[in-house]
Amino acid sequence: MFAMGLVGGIFGIIAAIVAMMIGGIDAAFSDTGTSQISGLAISALLFSILGIVGSAFSKSKPKLAGWLMLISAIAGTISISMFYILSGVLLAVAGFMGIFSKKKVKEAPPVAPLT
């Protein structure tokens, strides 16, 4: 779960940077000098960072980590859609693994009887 979340977040950052470059090119050639793609790429970058933070919590709090990664996958896919496909799939699978994981309950060691 940790590795999938981390790789998904890193690929998400790369996809957001590529979307920022395309947004910059779009802004350069548009009449107004602005582009919506740049803003959406920044939001995808923030959600990718959220996915990496979620993967960092995967050992201590797997449910929280799962929800953070799932939110990151959905919001990043909404932000820059096709650029975020690989990252979205990796973060979503890692997120579901965290949400549906079961903590192992440690049994207490047997206590020796007092005599």
Residue 73 forms part of a structural domain: yes
Give pLDDT, residue 105: 63
The pTM of the full predicted model, rounded to 2 decimals, is 0.86
Is 38 domain-assigned? yes
Give the residue numbers spanning the domain of 86. 2-99
pLDDT over 90 at 108, yes or no: no
Buried/exposed 36-47: b ≥16 CB within 10 Å, e otherwise? ebbebbeebbbb
Residue 83 lies inside a defined structural domain of this protein: yes
| Distance separating alpha carbons of residues 86 and 110, to the nearest angstrom | 48
> What is the rounded distance in angstroms from the CA atom of residue 85 to the CA atom of residue 77?
7
Residue 86 inside a domain? The answer is yes
Quick one: which of 12, 1, 28, 31 has its CA closest to 73? 12
Q: Which of 52-61, 65-74, 81-90, 104-113 has the lowest mean pLDDT?
A: 104-113
Q: Is residue 108 part of a domain?
A: no
Confidence of residue 113 (pLDDT cuts 50, 70, 90): confident
In a domain, 19, yes or no: yes
* pLDDT digit string, tens, across residues 19-70: 999 999 999 998 888 889 999 999 999 999 999 999 999 999 999 999 999 9
Domain count, the chain: 1
